[in-house]
Amino acid sequence: MNDDILKYSSDKQDILTGASLPADEEPEIKSLRPEYLADYVGQVEVVETLKIAIEAAIKRDEPIDHVLFHGPPGLGKTTLAHIIANEMGSNLTVTSGPALEKGGDLIGILTNLEDGNILFIDEIHRMPKVVEEFLYPAMEDFAVDFVFDKGIHARSHRYRLKRFAVIGSTTRVGLLSAPLRDRFGIFRSFDFYSENDLVKITKRSAALLNVPIDNKGSVELSRRSRGTPRIANRLLKRVRDYTQVRSDGKITENTVEAALRLEGVDEKGLTDLDRRYMKTIIEFYNGGPVGIEAIAATLLEETDTLVDVVEPYLLKIGMIIRTSSGRKASEKAYRHLGFTNK
């Protein structure tokens, strides 16, 4: 398979460094991924749906129906795409919406797919409209239409594709066009993980990294992981480094607190950017309501970063309120930052 077919790009925000990284493809993150559904923790309803769909597809000897996952970054959408390919015994081709700049990019990938292969498109909502239109007949009829020449000499040719499945992943499902969204047979939403599930994930990851961790340390780390496995794994590695250098090598509640204090991650898992976001609403805009563009301009951050990375968890834990006239800081935010709500 050509290297140019396996292009992958992602601009998900790094919770610790603030850098833009293809986080799902980092070697150590990949090594911590479960490979089969039996090892996957959390998202119970999603997993049950996939078990049924995979078993039915295998019995019929055909590809799984097209699948669309949506939810905040880091909750396991990419991991499940790899698991589906493993469970189906299929080859997985990985790309992303921004990487498909022209129709020819997508056609090159589609024509190289074999029977039963899976095409995973991350950030599918960022795929250009002209590329998206090539995907419609490919998903529905397993064919692509070429137009030769122009004007009165124009003629169309339909090229038949092998039967394949598309798995799409998006953090902004509202930006998907209705025709594309309707072509997915399985449509599942991901939610933040419970603390109990994150404890299981951190213990599993610690075992894979060969670092001992006690129960209190695992609970404290999970509490600070924003309900997100990817962040739990990142923080685990930072705590591991701290423990091996400043302690006896075993992760405990105290070493988690000390290590994450250095990283600027507080007891609720909030980072410096989260706290600056809330302080901006409270100090500059009297607690809101205020538009997201104004907050982004004040913080000198991209609007997409705030909407995709910062806001989902703050909304989940009730630190901010989104209204028709803008964002407001809640009473919880005032108390957490030590402000008095006037």
Q: What residues act catalytically?
A: 77-78, 122, 171, 230
Q: Rounded to whole angstroms, how far apart are CA atoms 320 and 188? A: 26
Cα-based angle 329, 194, 204 (whole degrees, multiple of 5): 130
Residue 75 CA, distance from chain mean position: 6
Cα-based angle 32, 37, 43 (whole degrees, multiple of 5): 85
Residues linked to residue 188 through DSSP beta bridges, in sequence order: 69
Contact (CB, 8 A) for 166 and 119: yes
Residues linked to residue 187 through DSSP beta bridges, in sequence order: 68
How far from 22 is each of 153, 194, 299, 313, CA to CA, in Å?
A: 44, 25, 24, 21
Name the residue with tokens 């129906």. Answer: 65
Q: Rounded to whole angstroms, how far apart are CA atoms 68 and 108? A: 22
Contact (CB, 8 A) for 2 and 112: yes
User: Across the chain, which distance is largest between two alpha carbons, in Å?
Assistant: 78
**3-state SS class at 230:** helix
Cα-based angle 75, 79, 84 (whole degrees, multiple of 5): 130
Q: Rounded to whole angstroms, how far apart are CA atoms 12 and 122? A: 11
Structure tokens at 158: 């339909």
Contact (CB, 8 A) for 284 and 299: no
